[in-house]
Amino acid sequence: MDLQTIWFALIAILWVGYLVLEGFDFGVGILLLVLGRNEAERRAMLRTIGPVWDGNEVWVLVAGGATFAAFPEWYATLFSGFYLALFLLLVGLIVRGIAIEYRNKREDATWRARCDVAIAFGSFVPALLWGVAFANIVAGVPIDAHKQFTGNLLTLLNPFGLLGGLTTLLLFVTHGAVFLALKTEGDLRARANRLALRVGLVAAVVAVAFLAWTEAQRGSPASIVFAVLTAGSFVGALAANVVRHEGWAFIGTAAAIALAVVTLFTALYPNVMPSSTDPAFSLTIHNASSTDYTLTIMTAVAVIFTPIVLIYQGWTYWVFRKRVSVPPVSVER
């Protein structure tokens, strides 16, 4: 196994970490206006992700940085070609972050309601666009001989890309609902549990269709195995949710998202961005990578600092592991 393959796998792991952890953040944000019937419930929902949401976003920064350092040609073509889509995604993340941080700075119902809408919007847009982006990367986009993207935003909004976006959206909503059932109590927990099953059944159908289409385009024996494991994990998660074993249900949805990402990267390998114009113009782990010296230095740094980051983030989740209760709503006289 060469350094290019190792770093391709490491970048896949970084995306697994980001989409699994940020996935339930997106789900909670989208459901804020659906499950939160009053101010007390909405506050409780935001408290479930309050200690961790900004830390979860660090994974995407590291994934982007690793891509830039390990595969600069991939980074350049991806971020220039997908510029408008990624800009919209970034706007959503910024809007969501600002709304979460400033929601409780003013004791004004109108202000909080507007922040809630911003949180839902800022969670919905990235949840949809990440799926659109990954679907297009796997399927292939128009790239010319100069490694330049020759399409536009409408090129990305094709049926396969939109199905990928719908898949990630529904998976994240299910993941977020299961997380809320795991982290809350009382009626909010029960409603989150019921919603997770209803949305999860739709997500299962959509995800199977998307993975089957993926395998039909770029399937390999390994990616087929991971696709089957993805489906099995998600079905197991829904079964655990039915019997109110929220911990196992959360592990199941997390595993399903992780395995889905592994499926896409396995189907993509050894390409990093296939060209729909001409396969000869495709970016691969070899023609898009940095030098072996650069990759060697990066590997040494990753070996030292990655365990530290994992231990710290694991400790954070352990500290804030308890359920969040919904305080009784006070009646104003």
Asked whether the predicted pLDDT for residue 333 surpasses 60, the reply is: no
Asked if 131 and 167 touch (Cβ cutoff 8 Å), the reply is yes
Tokens of 154: 């409408």
What percentage of the chain has pLDDT greater than the value 70?
Answer: 98
What digits encode the pLDDT tens for the residues 276-303? 999 999 999 999 999 999 999 999 999 9
* Residue 272, H or E segment: strand 271-273
Asked if 266 and 134 touch (Cβ cutoff 8 Å), the reply is no
Distance CA 15, CA 13 (A): 5
Domain ranges of the chain: 13-290
Residues in the chain: 333
Asked if 19 and 257 touch (Cβ cutoff 8 Å), the reply is yes
Distance CA 168, CA 187 (A): 27
Bridge partner residues of 324 (DSSP): 184
DSSP 328: P
Asked if 70 and 289 touch (Cβ cutoff 8 Å), the reply is yes
Helix (H, G, I), strand (E, B) or coil at 184: strand
What digits encode the pLDDT tens for the residues 61-84? 999 999 999 999 999 999 888 999
Asked whether the predicted pLDDT for residue 331 surpasses 80, the reply is: no
The residue with tokens 């039909």 is 216
Name, in order, each residue with C-beta under 8 angstroms of 272's C-beta and a sequence gap of 6 or more. 8, 71, 74, 137, 283, 284, 285, 288
Does the domain made of 13-290 have the CATH classification 3.90.1070? no
Mean pLDDT, range 316-330, rounded to an integer: 79
Distance CA 333, CA 330 (A): 10
Tokens of 108: 């004004």
What digits encode the pLDDT tens for the residues 16-58? 999 999 999 999 999 999 999 999 999 999 999 998 998 898 8
Mean pLDDT, range 256-266, rounded to an integer: 96
pTM of the model: 0.93
pLDDT at residue 312 in the model:
86
What digits encode the pLDDT tens for the residues 183-220? 999 999 999 999 999 999 999 999 999 999 999 988 88
Helix (H, G, I), strand (E, B) or coil at 157: coil
Neighbours of 271 (CB within 10 A): 21
Mean pLDDT, range 146-173, rounded to an integer: 93
The helices-and-strands tally (H runs, E runs) of the chain is: 12, 2
Burial label, 314 (beta-carbon count in 10 A; 0-12, 13-18, 19+): exposed
Asked if 23 and 57 touch (Cβ cutoff 8 Å), the reply is no
Asked if 235 and 182 touch (Cβ cutoff 8 Å), the reply is no
In terms of pLDDT, which residue wins out, 328 or 259?
Answer: 259
Q: Mean of the per-residue pLDDT values for the chain?
A: 92
